[in-house]
Amino acid sequence: MKPGRGNIEDKIYSSRQSQELPFSGSILFTHSFTGCDTTCAISNKDKLSILKCSLKMPNETKAIVVILYDPTSTPDAVAQAGEEMSLTMYQAPPSERDLNNRRYNSFVKSSTKIKANLASLPPTIGAAKRHSFTVYSPTQQWLLNDSFNPACWGWVRDGGRVLSPVITTDPIAPHSALI
């Protein structure tokens, strides 16, 4: 149920009817990729925006979902799927298939604005890889994959039994800028 506000009526959604929607096979992916209890949300990208991407590019999204639902996927395949989804979400043209280049081009474009929002830039390849690993983890747990080991997928133990995601292994800035 979605409560109404003001003159907008309450809406009741049926889980049975939602199974007939075009994106029904990617609900777990959508929920975890856009942020949930165990994964970080992506700045300025909500669940609706990823659903719109899924509807615009159903074949590409389906291929990504298949990889993230497969318990035998390799880290390289999951990282590539995360990069592809990031390129899709940030509307990269077909000629631009490198996420770091997309980030740079987005930065150059936004730097001409008076109030540039740097949080709206696409992630780096390293950050997209780590995000896709943290998306893969809850998805595998929700699919009841008992053999899944989160420590192999970008999660580290904080002293005891608590797992925390490794956000990125990229440097904070190019070495030449830090000197």
Q: Where are the domains of the chain?
A: 22-178
Please tell me whether the overall predicted TM-score, pTM, comes out greater than 0.95 for this model.
Answer: no
Other CB atoms within 10 Å distance of the CB of residue 159: 5
**77-92 confidence digits (pLDDT tens):** 999 998 988 898 888 8
Instruction: Tell me the C-alpha to C-alpha distance, in Å, between residue 164 and each of 31, 37, 70, 80, 129.
Output: 19, 12, 23, 22, 15
Could you say which residues of the chain have pLDDT below 50?
none
Q: What does the pLDDT read at residue 167?
A: 73
CA–CA gap between residue 42 and residue 23 (Å, rounded)? 20
Contacts of 150 (CB under 8 A, 6+ apart): 137, 163
